[in-house]
């Protein structure tokens, strides 16, 4: 996609014409097998409670602790949807091995339902039924089977919980959903046997309500599920939720540590168990060298009402910012600096999730509502969290934000969300405000919670609501972004934004290398090096200047294609296409401003289609590179002589602790440089490409 855009710009500049489109447990032998699998992974070869009442959308429902007598202790139900994580990598089986390695005493019932995978590495697990097992005494014992059904069907989850509660009554109940997670837009548990059918958030909430038992603990050993939207979906069905804002590594939680702790103290509450899960998860990620982007948090579901209300009020102020383009720009730019999760490029896909507290921190100076109430609500809701060094701004709970949302994804979110103020803001920044009947939306909106639970100032909220019902935000058609470029006497390439500056939120640059380039921009091949933000700029005057000194990023001495996918006040995050041991993937790397150096985090395969008709997406997290891995970097290229797309491949780098990422001189030659301007409505403007000649210590742009 990026190369297609660049080629189009080159063609418009008259450089060349483009017609191409770039497009276990029971036996020691089994135990040793999975111990070897985990060792191989780490070496880089593979990749409860008493009866209460709760309100639901359908009215009042009564939750009970089961039909039998309640016994002290825990019944923990693990909904193990194996999917391709099991059929391709045995990851579910590895976690089963951890469970069987734990010391589980009387009073702790560990139940597992298996399904959703086309193949199981664990001997005895069948693919044509749903298996129900109990883990005890170091074995996985089959208790019964159920007729095969989609694990993406809410009834399947409901039936499993009802079976577990009725068969193993306890004082405390917990459920863990294990599989891919797709975040607030797509949900969790993608059944490989049913075309990737998955549990959407509404289906998930329905399944837990229909199960009829209040859960002490609702866990997601899956990517991207620690969101406001997930918490709201399961609110009223449990006390605490444990989930990750970011993607998770394939081997997931540490079940041995979790179950050992539960066995030592099976009277602990859901939040206590959640803290143990968080700490053990981070320790496991550290042990496997994949802790950089690790996140996990414990969320108090009793606080979701207060959190939702405070969020409504705060996002009302964000929506009102759309009355003025400069204010909207400040808010949107603050959101762009907010820590985001999952994929954020055309090739990796977009997860459209950002940290909620970081969003408030980066935008509160530009809106009417003080962020204190929302930040306080977040702090009360997130009772515990952990994160790795590459996720310093992870505060435990995320929220949807349209970083690269498709029209269908926006429509789905608007259909499922009842936060009218936030939907107004989203519509404003995506320039789709005119597509919605906002008067009707406000008629349906229930603001009573916001009036009573957020700032407590009902008059303020009433006044804001009146303003929001009459909101007429600025639109993309109100602004005409115009620009020009020139070479200054000092030899720098200058960009001047002459119109529409108030709507511009970022200026980056794109760089290409021309192996046999000429002053007129002709070359037999154009190799795309990537996108970065190292530009000198004066936002008051709208003037910008290149800071190109003939250097670019290398890893192990090989130049790479690096796309800037996230920029915060603390670091830049880059995506780098590569082949690792022959498999195509992307490396993630950060530039740490305080340390003034790059660090490679590992490989990330990006967001993949689940395979069902809904177009749902799945993801799993960062996989660390290991000593001995063979890494070949891929750079998109265009071959002018044949008018074809191509991939330039580097020499292989054998990974070791001595491999470093740094900027290096590219040497004498010709390069092509373009400014990329992006406005607050997501529209991109690219300048005409300019040839840069590097000769000795001199870099000089060539313009006619």
Query: CATH code at 85?
Result: 3.40.50
Q: Tell whether 41 is covered by a domain.
A: no
Residues 540 and 663 grouped into a single domain: yes
579, β-bridge pairs = 584, 632
Q: Tell whether 291 is covered by a domain.
A: yes
pLDDT computed for residue 609 by the predictor: 56
CA separation, residue 27 to residues 97, 100, 101, 139 (Å): 11, 11, 12, 8
Q: What are phi and psi of 657, to 5 degrees?
A: -70, -15
Handedness of CA 135, 137, 143, 148 (dihedral sign): positive
Q: Tell whether 635 is covered by a domain.
A: yes
Residues 314 and 292 grouped into a single domain: no
Residues 489 and 438 grouped into a single domain: no
Residues 413 and 353 grouped into a single domain: yes
Number of domains in the chain: 3
136, β-bridge pairs = 139
Residues 264 and 365 grouped into a single domain: no
Residue 580, token pair as written in the block: 């690792």
Residue 196, token pair as written in the block: 């990737």
**Residue (of 392, 410, 391) closest to 401 by Cα position:** 410
Residues 145 and 226 grouped into a single domain: yes
Entry field: residues in the chain: 704
Q: CA-CA distance, 317 to 330, in Å (whole number)?
A: 13
Q: Tell whether 466 is covered by a domain.
A: yes
Residues 265 and 318 grouped into a single domain: no
Residues 214 and 329 grouped into a single domain: no
Cβ-proximal residues to 517 (8 Å cutoff; 6+ apart), any chain: 523, 669, 670, 671, 672, 691
| Secondary structure (H, E, C), 491-558 | CCEEEEEEECHHHEEEEEEEEEEECCCCCCCCCCEEEEEEEECCEEEECCCCEEEECCCCEEEEECCE
Counts for the chain of helices (H) and strands (E), in that order: 18, 41
CA neighbours closer than 13 Å in the CB half-sphere of residue 387: 21
Residues 539 and 688 grouped into a single domain: yes
Residues 379 and 403 grouped into a single domain: yes
Angle at 232 between CA 228 and CA 234, to 5 degrees: 120
Q: Tell whether 163 is covered by a domain.
A: yes
pLDDT computed for residue 71 by the predictor: 73
Range of the domain at 439: 306-383+391-430+432-474
DSSP percent split of the chain into helix, strand, coil, nearest 5: 30, 35, 35
Q: Tell whether 62 is covered by a domain.
A: no
| Secondary structure (H, E, C), 9-68 | HHHHCCCCCCCCCCCCCCCHHHHHHHHHHHHHHHCCCCCCCCCEEEEECCEEEEECCCCC
Q: Tell whether 57 is covered by a domain.
A: no
**Residue (of 529, 562, 500) closest to 689 by Cα position:** 529
Do residues 587 and 576 touch, judged by C-beta distance below 8 A? yes
**Range 433-451 burial, b when 16+ CB lie within 10 A, else e:** beeeebeebbeebebeebb
pLDDT computed for residue 68 by the predictor: 40
Q: How does pLDDT run across 154-180, given as a tens digit for each residue?
A: 999 999 999 999 999 999 999 999 999
pLDDT computed for residue 337 by the predictor: 93
The residue among 252, 268, 302 that closes a domain is: 302
The residue among 474, 495, 529 that closes a domain is: 474
Which residues in the chain show pLDDT less than 70?
Answer: 1-70, 446-458, 608-620, 704
pLDDT computed for residue 62 by the predictor: 38
Residues 155 and 227 grouped into a single domain: yes
pLDDT computed for residue 614 by the predictor: 39
Do residues 172 and 269 touch, judged by C-beta distance below 8 A? yes
Residue 60, token pair as written in the block: 């009042």
Q: Tell whether 28 is covered by a domain.
A: no
Between strands 215-221 and 172-178, the pairing is parallel
The residue among 302, 334, 360 that closes a domain is: 302
Q: How far out from the chain centre does Cα 538 lie?
A: 32
pLDDT computed for residue 93 by the predictor: 98
Residues 467 and 505 grouped into a single domain: no
Tokens 């998109």, residue located: 636
């Amino acid at each position: 996609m990026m190369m297609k855009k660049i080629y189009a710009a080159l063609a418009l500049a008259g450089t060349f014409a483009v017609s191409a489109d770039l497009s276990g447990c029971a036996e020691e032998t089994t135990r040793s097998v999975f111990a070897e699998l985990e060792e191989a992974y780490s070496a880089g070869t593979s990749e409860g409670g008493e009866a209460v009442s709760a309100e639901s959308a359908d009215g009042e429902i009564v939750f009970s602790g089961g039909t039998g007598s309640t016994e002290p202790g825990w019944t923990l139900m693990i909904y193990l949807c194996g999917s391709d994580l099991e059929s391709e990598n045995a990851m579910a089986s590895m976690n089963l091995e951890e469970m069987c390695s734990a010391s589980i005493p009387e009073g702790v019932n560990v139940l597992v339902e298996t399904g959703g995978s086309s193949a199981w590495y664990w001997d005895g697990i069948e693919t044509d039924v749903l298996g129900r097992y109990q883990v005890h005494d170091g074995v996985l014992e089959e208790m019964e089977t159920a007729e095969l059904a989609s694990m993406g069907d809410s009834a399947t989850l409901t039936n499993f919980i009802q079976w577990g509660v009725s068969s193993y009554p306890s004082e405390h109940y917990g459920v863990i959903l294990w599989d891919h997670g797709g975040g607030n837009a797509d949900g969790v548990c993608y059944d490989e046997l049913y075309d990737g059918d998955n549990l959407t958030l509404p289906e998930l909430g329905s399944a837990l309500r229909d199960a009829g038992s209040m859960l002490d603990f609702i866990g997601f050993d899956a990517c991207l599920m620690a969101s406001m939207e997930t918490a709201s979906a399961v609110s009223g069905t449990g006390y605490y939720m444990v989930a990750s804002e970011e993607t998770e590594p394939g081997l997931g939680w540490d079940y041995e540590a979790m179950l050992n702790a539960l066995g030592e103290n099976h009277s602990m509450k859901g939040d206590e168990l959640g803290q143990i899960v968080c700490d053990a998860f981070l320790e496991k990620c550290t042990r496997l060298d994949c802790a950089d982007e690790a996140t996990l948090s414990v969320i108090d579901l009793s606080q979701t009402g207060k959190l939702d209300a405070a969020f409504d009020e705060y996002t009302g102020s964000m929506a009102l910012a759309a009355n003025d383009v400069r204010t909207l720009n400040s808010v949107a730019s603050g959101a762009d600096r907010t820590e985001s999760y999952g994929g954020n490029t055309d090739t990796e896909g977009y997860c459209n999730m950002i940290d909620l507290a970081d969003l408030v921190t980066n935008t509160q100076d530009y809106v009417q509502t003080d962020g204190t109430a929302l930040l306080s609500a977040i702090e009360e809701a997130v009772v515990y969290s952990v994160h790795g060094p590459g996720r310093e701004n992870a505060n435990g709970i995320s929220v949807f934000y349209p970083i690269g949302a498709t029209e269908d994804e926006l429509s789905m979110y608007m259909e499922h969300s009842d936060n009218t103020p936030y939907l107004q803001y989203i519509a404003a920044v995506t320039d789709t405000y005119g597509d919605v009947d906002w008067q009707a939306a406000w008629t349906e909106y229930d603001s009573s919670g916001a009036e009573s639970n957020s700032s407590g100032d009902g008059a303020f909220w009433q006044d804001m609501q009146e303003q929001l019902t009459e909101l007429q935000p600025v639109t993309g058609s109100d602004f005409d972004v115009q620009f020009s470029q020139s070479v200054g006497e000092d030899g720098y390439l200058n960009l001047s934004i002459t119109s529409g500056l108030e709507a511009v939120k970022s200026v980056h640059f794109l760089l290409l290398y021309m192996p046999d380039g000429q002053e007129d921009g002709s070359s037999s091949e154009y190799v795309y090096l990537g996108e970065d933000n190292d530009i000198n700029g004066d936002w008051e005057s709208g003037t910008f200047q290149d800071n190109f000194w003939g250097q670019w990023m290398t890893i192990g001495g090989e130049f790479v294609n690096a796309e800037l996918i996230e920029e915060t006040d603390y670091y830049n995050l880059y995506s780098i296409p590569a082949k690792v041991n022959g498999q195509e993937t992307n490396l993630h790397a950060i530039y740490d401003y305080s340390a003034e150096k790059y660090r490679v985090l590992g490989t990330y395969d990006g967001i993949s289609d689940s395979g069902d008709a809904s177009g749902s997406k799945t993801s799993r997290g960062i996989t660390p590179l290991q000593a001995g891995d063979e890494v070949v970097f891929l750079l998109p290229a265009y071959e002018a002589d044949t008018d074809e797309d191509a991939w330039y491949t580097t020499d292989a780098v054998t990974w070791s602790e001595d491999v470093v990422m740094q900027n290096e001189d590219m040497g004498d030659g010709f390069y092509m440089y373009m400014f990329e301007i992006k406005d607050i409505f997501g529209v991109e403007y690219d300048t005409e490409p300019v040839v840069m000649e590097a000769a000795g210590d001199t870099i000089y742009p060539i313009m006619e």
